[in-house]
Amino acid sequence: MPSAEFYLERFAHHKEAGLSARRAGNFKEARYQLLRSAEYLMRLSELSEGKLKEARLKNARELLTLAKDLPESAEAASEWKEDDEAPGRPDAAPAEAGASPKKHGKAGDWIVREKPKVKFADIAGLEEAKKQIRIKMIYPFTHAEKAAKYGVTKGGGILLYGPPGTGKTMMARAVAAELEATFFCVTPSRILSKWVGEAEKNIANLFGEAREAGRSIVFIDEIESLLPSRRDQESNVMQRLVPSILSEMDGFGGRSEARTILFMGATNEPWALDYAAMRPGRFDEKIYIALPDAPARRQILEMNLENAPLAGGVDLDALAARLDGYSGADIAYLVRKVKEELFEDSVEQNAERAMDLSAFDEALKTLKPSVQKDDLKRFDEFRKKA
């Protein structure tokens, strides 16, 4: 077993790397490094006793919380870098009395506009979800004459919901790639403003630019932050913003140019959305993005193990079966963790070996599914009502 000094050094190394990545706005790397740091600190706590053990466990939990709370995407990272005061808090007070509001300009100044490359074929599993999306969003464009014959209109809204780490954002990007559409990707923190009336203007600018771009997809992650249940909201901003977004969604069916816009929202908490957003004509389809099944888990392993020094005899079907309950993000993290553990051994202990089953066994001792069973039950209950 490695010494306490080894665990302490690894903990400090990954913590510093994580904090540096966070300062640089690379939140994906920061999350990974902070998770590794917390893991080494937990191992170190097992070699400790008394108050020292308690303190190390407490610090490890704080690192886990810090990693969990980091934004998911590049645009959210940009928001952190530009405004650390209170990103995304609509009721936050100005930093100083009498301060002037920030000027946001047009939507193009603060959203991410791209032409994604990822296609459905690049996403493991989720065949039923892909089928629903093709019928609702893709076929009306790719088979326009048949859609007109049957009175099927283009455009509309789809809500992708499910546990974190299951590929909701990737699915939205794939829709844009399949349609060769412009992808407008924003997060609530880029839309919300502490200044009265600014958030509504941001929404109007966003959809206005999407209409000007022609065939386009507006994708908002964590949509529950922009369309929360007004029954539970005391914020004046939300009381104005929710109707503003709902009005834009209603416009999809009214204006001919709006029918070239597809609106996609993603959420880990569909039950927190305002009830008015869930009716037909707004989010016409609510599609569950589930945890990967066994074939999908096998495919995710294969994708992440491509060109890796995998030992002969590793049964990927058996390994995939053991990963029941793990998200796609969990599995990708597992593979990266094993790679780095073996790389670390090769550098520090001059012990080079392939990625054998024992390496995965060791990693799985501490890596548990990020999605809790109680959360899955809640999603099942929502699906029955949706």
Query: How is residue 207 written in tokens?
Result: 């959809």
Pairing status of strand 156-161 against strand 216-220: unpaired
Ordered domains of the chain (ranges, CATH): 4-68 (1.20.58.80), 78-87+103-291 (3.40.50.300), 294-370 (1.10.8.60)
Q: For residue 210, which of 285, 136, 107 has the smallest C-alpha distance?
A: 107
pLDDT digit string, tens, across residues 280-297: 777 878 999 999 999 999
99-113 exposure pattern, b = at least 16 Cβ within 10 A, e = fewer: eeeeebeebeebbbe
User: For residues 9 and 41, what is the distance between their CA atoms, to the nearest angstrom?
Assistant: 10
pLDDT digits (tens, 9 = 90+) for 93-147: 222 223 333 333 444 455 667 788 889 999 999 999 999 899 888 898 889 899 8
Chain position carrying tokens 């941001």: 202
Burial pattern 48-72, b for ≥16 Cβ within 10 A else e, equals beeeeeeebbebbeebbebbeebbb
What band does 174 get if pLDDT is binned at 50, 70 and 90? very high
* Summary mean pLDDT of the chain: 78
What pLDDT does 101 receive?
33
Q: What is the pLDDT of residue 230?
A: 66
Tokens 């569909």, located at residue: 270
Relative orientation angle of helices 357-364 and 328-348, to the nearest 10 degrees: 110
User: b/e per residue, 174-195, with b = 16+ CB within 10 A?
Assistant: bbbbbbebbbbbbbbbbbbbbb
The answer to which of 54-58, 162-166, 248-252, 369-373 has the lowest mean pLDDT is 248-252
pLDDT tens figures, 5-15: 777 878 888 88
What distance in Å separates the CA atoms of residue 153 and residue 136, rounded to the nearest whole number? 9
Least confident of 78-92, 152-166, 274-288: 78-92
Does position 331 have pLDDT exceeding 70, yes or no?
yes
Please give the helix or strand (H or E) that residue 298 lies within, else none: helix 294-304
CA distance 169 to 372: 21
DSSP letter for 11, please.
H
Asked if the model's pLDDT at residue 360 lies above 80, the reply is yes
CA distance 187 to 179: 22
Residue 234 makes CB contacts below 8 A (sequence gap 6+) with none
